[in-house]
Structures are given as C-alpha cells and as structure tokens.
Structure 1
Amino acid sequence: MSDNISQGNGKHAVVFHRKSGEYFLIWLVNALLTTITLSIYFAWATVRTRRYFYGNTEINGDRFDYHAEPIQILKGRIIVIGALVLLYILLLFVPLVGLAVLMVFTALLPMLIIRNWRYNAIMTSYRGVRFNYLGSVKRGYWTFLAVPLLMVALLVLLMTTVGSFSSFISNATPLIVAALLYIPALIALGGVMKYMIADLYVNNLRFGTAAFNAAISKAAFIKIAFCSLLAFLPFLIWTLWFSGAVLLSIMEYVQTGGHITHRVHYTSPYEDIFKLIAAYVSLIIGGLVAKCYIVVAERNYIFGNTTLSDNVQVHSNVKLGAYLMLLFTNTLITLFSLGLAAPVAQVRYARFMANATQVSGDISLLNVQAHGDTARSAVAEEAISALDLNVGI
C-alpha cells in the first residue's frame, strides 16, 4: 500500500503515478498509426490514451479503468463523419434541405449530451465497479434547449423595453441603462445555466448503485460569474486606456481629412501599432484569467459540496495562480517543441489536477453494488467530440 493513503476517515489523496516519458511513446505510436491508417486507428488511440490516464490515477490504493472497445468508437466515428459529410453536401447543393437537417441535428444535441455522459460513465470503473449516469433526456432538453431559449427571449424583451424609450429620449441615456441592465442580466443567466448543467450532471451520477449528491446553489454560481467579471475589469480598463489615444488619433485624422491638430498628441504609426497589439494581448490575458477563475472556482465549489452515499466527501483545492502558471508553462512547452511536447503537457496537467483532489471518509465501508446497465453505442460520444462541445464537470 502506497504511503499517500490515509486510513479510516482521513483524507485519501488522488495520485497520478506515471511520468511524461512513458506517455510520450504511447502518444507517438498513436500519432504515427493514426496518420498511416488515415485516422482509422484513432479509435484505438483514444482507448489507449484513456486507459493510460485512468489506469494510472489512484485513490486509496486502487486505480480506475476504462472499458470502451475501439470498434465501438470506430463505428460511432464513421456514422458521425458520414452524417457531417452528408450535411455539408446538402448545405452546398440543396441549402434549404441542408438547413432543415441542421435544425434537426441541433434539436438532437441535448439527447446526444445525455447519452455521451451515460456512455463515458458506464465505460469507467473503480475497484471493478462501473459508474453510471441516470439523467433523463427530457430534463436534458429543458436544460440545454428550453431554458437557453427562454433566457434569450428574456434578454430580447429587456433590450426592447429599454429601446422603446429611445424614441422620445434624444441622449445616450437608453444605451447606458441598457448596458447597466443587460450585462448583469447576461452574467446572472450564465451563472444559472452553469448551475443547471452541474446539477443535471452530478446529481444523476452513480458509482454502481451509490448516488452522488451535490448540495449546490444558483447563488454561488452567479457569484462566481460576477467575480470573474471583476477579475476581467482591470484588463479591460488597461486595454481601453492603452488604445484610447490611438483611436482618438484615427478618428481625428478621418474627421480632419488627414490633418492632426494639437488636441491629440501625435504618435508614430509604429507606436500606434504597438499600443493596439498590447491592448489586444491585454484583452486576451484578461479573458484567460476570467475563464480560469471560473474553472477553478466552480471545480472547488462543486467538488467541495459533493458526497457519495453521504459517507464519502470529495475535495478540490486548485489555486488560481498555480493553475494559470500550469497553463502558461504547458503552452510554452508545446509551442517551443512544435507540438512534440504535447504529451508532457498532458501528463503535467493530469498530475496537477490529481494532486489538487482528495477524498475523505472510509471508502471501504461504502455499500456499493454493481449495476447491469450497458452502453453499446459510441455515436453520441463521437458526435460530442466532433463538435468539440465541452460539457460536463
């Protein structure tokens, strides 16, 4: 038994054991065979990669496993690629039919997301017991389709109501009022959506027959959303200040027909270009910080309020600064190696997230029974992967 294990009701550290060099060989073989076989080997590469990362993640002396068969993923991939090619052809030659098919496919997305969650859960096991997901497709449609449409309608109604005052108010007051109402409303609705997705996912997740329970609230997600805006504001202000003089110079240049007056300090084109680039970079960094804050805060909150059968508590202590530094160094490693060090970045990320996760409680006392559910089709899994929809926790 490894020395990272706490006994009884103490905390059990989640540990990722392997090193970057081992995964590099797997990654290299996967890349070569996928290229040689014109992506047919991608299914086997996916399974090998997941089995490597799952199989080297340990809690309390036991490791996870991944059970999907490559042929399942290959069949699902062929169906999804065929459907996308057909959709492209229809949009190209019969636009109206293609648009109708696209709308039907969009309407199927909530069902695909639910089935994707179920497939990935059933294909994952710990101590020989498989996970499961019991969320309903009906609730998936409410969360991913009905609620977003209602939110859009609410925002449009808000903007229309404020805009109606502009017909008899000549100044910029309606625009200011609209911004003051629209932005907080948009952020709050985004927090509500994040809550609904987390609730739909975690509170329908099972380990065997044992249920996960996440005691989470809408208010916490809305607070996280507003805090991310506060994290972004300094970068936005810096961007506006840095680019303001340049924009004023351009506006005056256009208005005066190319004559610069004393009202705006003249700068060289090179300095203007530098300021605009700096402003753009500042905006990107601010967006990254805000996004990372949301990822870290939501993960720590959801994990910290999730239990399994009321006996086992999950914990997460990801630090924002450390997470940002990890992403920054991983990006540098990948860029300067021309992508060859991508497996190193993946292993570093897996180890970092494992080290920031703990489980407390006596896992050995869990009353867990295996379930008999199966998932034989990977079509939903491949569809979600092809569309790069990052849903889930």
Structure 2
Amino acid sequence: MHDSNNDFPVPASAAPAAQPHPLRFEFVGSGSEYFRIWIVNALLTIVTLGIYSPWAKVRTMQYFYRNTRLDNASFDYHGRPTAILKGRAIVFALAAVFQLTGHVSILLSLALGLALALVFPLLLVRSLRFRMANSSYRGLRFAFTGGDAEAYKVFLLWPALAVLTLYALAPLAHQRFKRYQHNHTRFGTAPFAIDAAAGGFYGVYLRAFGMMVAVGVLAAVVVGVLGHALGGSAGGAAMAFLAAVAGFYVALLSIGPFFMARLQNLVWNHTTLAPHAFRSEVRAGRLFFIFFTNLIVTVFTLGLFMPFAKVRSTRYRVESMTMLAAAPLDAFVAGETQQVGALGDAAVDWYDIDIAL
C-alpha cells in the first residue's frame, strides 16, 4: 500500500497517527426508480434512431452517481449530452470512412487504419479527462492529468505487444493502464496513487484462465459421455453440441464475476487518495449468484428486469467498498476546496468531448 507518510511528513515528536476511520460506500437507488428512467431512455433512443442516446447516458450517469453516497454525501455527474453526441459523431464518422475505404482500396484502408490507431489514444485520454472533470463529490471536481505521450504506450504499444505475444503480456498491459489511470487522477489537488504490481494481475488472469480450462475439460467430458451413451446418433450429436454450447456459456458466466471481483479487490486495495486508503471486499461467489439470478429473471421477463439487474450488481459492488479515512472527510474536502480555489483550477483542463469510454 502507498506510504502516505512520504507525502505528509510529521515531526518526530508528534503523537502516533490515529487508526483510519472506515467509511462505507452506500448505494441508495432502487430498481423501480431506475426502471422508469431506463424505459423512457430506451423508447426515446429508438424513436430518435439513437440521437437521444447521449441524453440517456447523462440521465443514467446522474442517477447512479447521485445515489452513490460516502460519509452521508453523494457524488454527482455534470457531463453535457452535446459533448457526448459530438464524441460519438466523431467515432461514427471515422468508422464509416474506414468501412468505405475498404471497398475502394486495400492500401488506402490500411493507411486510414494506421491513422485511426494514432488518433485513438488521444481520443481516449480526452474522454478520461471529460469523465473526471465532470465528476464531483461535495461540489469538488475530480480531474485526470495523464499526458498524451504515455497514453500512446498504454493504449497502443502495450495492447499491440499483448497481441504479438498471444496475450502473454495482457496482464502487464492491464496493470500499466490502471497505473496510468489512477496515478494521474486527483480529487481537487489531492492525488490518487496505485501500487498494485504486475504479479497481482497475472494471478487474476491465470486463475481465470485455469477456471476456463477446467470448465472446458468438464464440458468435453460431458459431451463425450453423452455421445457414447447415445451411440453416435444424430440426436446424440445434437445433444452433445448443445452441451458444448451450454458449457461455453457456463464458463463465461463463471469466469466473468470471478474476474470482476478479483480485479476490483486488487485495484482498490492498492489505491490511495492522499492520506486515505480503500478496501474492497467483493466475493466472487456472491457476485456469481447475483449475475446468475439476474440472467435467469431477465430471460423470463424478456429483458424488462435489466434495470433491476443493474441496480442489484451495482449496489453489491459499491457497498463492498470502504474508504479508510486518515482524518475527518469533511475537513479534508474543505481543505481541498480552498486549495483548488487558490489555484483557480476547479475544472482542470476541459476537453469538450466524450467517446463513452
């Protein structure tokens, strides 16, 4: 864990620091409330052929931000739909031009693909800046200060190396991204920091891969037993195929919650905000149960349970988080507000674009 004493030195004669005070995150929204927002968003997005989707995103973000609480205060989101619409229009236009050039010339398509690869990291950085600059807690904004040069390493070089090594470097690429994201995020003037090593990411990825192999082997055994029992008939082949497909989806359903739970715990248990730390205690088994029951009910309700499912999973993941406050949080926020006001830097560097990262 990041050593806060290096950033906040105290005199040798000072009294020992008090034990951190745990502040639990809360999510106070309900599925019925979000359902009303979700259904209106869906209908208006369909009627407007997708044009309303940025307004739908802002309404959704504001609902989840404003219902997430820490120390009896809520977060807020201030993004403007027109900025999101502009960002999506840029991405749509780039994708359309790329598709058209593929029918004209292979060389032209390759050249445009290279140009898009060079531009995309810049768009991702600006999207991160937009998201943080439009997020606040107790009226104080967050900020992202990552530079473009490092973004090319995180969003272009490391993913390319991961592909070239058949994803052997994927955990390292993921660790580099989280380090770039957290080490360049701040709340007011207070910096976040992360010290999660690459070995932790390799541990999460290797366990998830091991689970996938185990489920795959089990599915293969079941398919083999069914095929043998049914004597190689057409019906047996069909049942074996269905068993293989079911095994594949069970593997995905099992691995997804495990990966999300372990990754959230790894990242936030190694993240600090100035003198404050965090603790994440997501249990993979519990998250799997939530995802599985959400899936079953969503299927039986023809998708109408989706907003309730999102609220259920969000509530569990949010309420598994605790902030270990080294000092009263209201005093910390007040101090940061004064420092930001003195710097004249409340919104940092505004980039009026969001590509829905």
Measured after TM superposition, the shift of residue 77 of structure 1 is 2.6
Corresponding residue number in structure 2 for 1:121:
132
Corresponding residue number in structure 2 for 1:10:
21
Answer yes or no: is the 8 Å Cα contact 2:129–2:349 preserved in 1.
Answer: no
Gaps of 5+ in 2: 1-18
Give the TM-score of the pair, scaled to structure 2.
0.84
Match of 1:298 among 259, 263, 266: 263
Corresponding residue number in structure 2 for 1:218:
198
Match of 1:87 among 69, 81, 98: 98
Whole-Å separation in 1 of the counterparts to 2:46 and 2:110 = 33
Residues paired across the two proteins, number: 328
Cα 1:38/1:282, change in 2 over 3 Å:
closer
Q: How does 1:225-374 map to 2 (within 5 A)?
A: 225-244=205-224, 266-309=231-274, 311-361=275-325, 362=327, 363-366=329-332, 367-368=335-336, 369-370=339-340, 371-372=345-346, 373-374=348-349
Identity of aligned residues (%): 29
Gaps of 5+ in 1: 1-7, 156-181, 250-263
Measured after TM superposition, the shift of residue 304 of structure 1 is 0.9
Corresponding residue number in structure 1 for 2:181:
201
Answer yes or no: is the 8 Å Cα contact 1:54–1:65 preserved in 2.
Answer: yes
Corresponding residue number in structure 2 for 1:173:
none
Whole-Å separation in 2 of the counterparts to 1:346 and 1:69 = 23
Answer yes or no: is the 8 Å Cα contact 2:77–2:135 preserved in 1.
Answer: yes
Give the TM-score of the pair, scaled to structure 1.
0.77
Corresponding residue number in structure 2 for 1:165:
none
Root mean square deviation, CA, Å: 2.3
Answer yes or no: is the 8 Å Cα contact 2:28–2:68 preserved in 1.
Answer: yes
Match of 2:69 among 58, 62, 71: 58
Report the secondary structure of 1:236's partner residue: helix
Report the secondary structure of 1:307's partner residue: strand
Whole-Å separation in 2 of the counterparts to 1:265 and 1:281 = 18
Whole-Å separation in 1 of the counterparts to 2:313 and 2:161 = 37
Cα 1:148/1:350, change in 2 over 3 Å:
closer
Corresponding residue number in structure 2 for 1:108:
119
Whole-Å separation in 2 of the counterparts to 1:289 and 1:341 = 21
Whole-Å separation in 2 of the counterparts to 1:334 and 1:41 = 24
Whole-Å separation in 2 of the counterparts to 1:74 and 1:223 = 39
Measured after TM superposition, the shift of residue 245 of structure 1 is 6.3
Corresponding residue number in structure 2 for 1:49:
60
Measured after TM superposition, the shift of residue 196 of structure 1 is 1.0
Q: Deviations over 1:267-291 (max 9, x none)?
A: 3321232123212322332233233
Amino acid at match of 1:314: F
Cα 1:57/1:271, change in 2 over 3 Å:
same
Answer yes or no: is the 8 Å Cα contact 2:186–2:192 preserved in 1.
Answer: yes
Answer yes or no: is the 8 Å Cα contact 1:314–1:360 preserved in 2.
Answer: yes
Answer yes or no: is the 8 Å Cα contact 1:135–1:204 preserved in 2.
Answer: yes
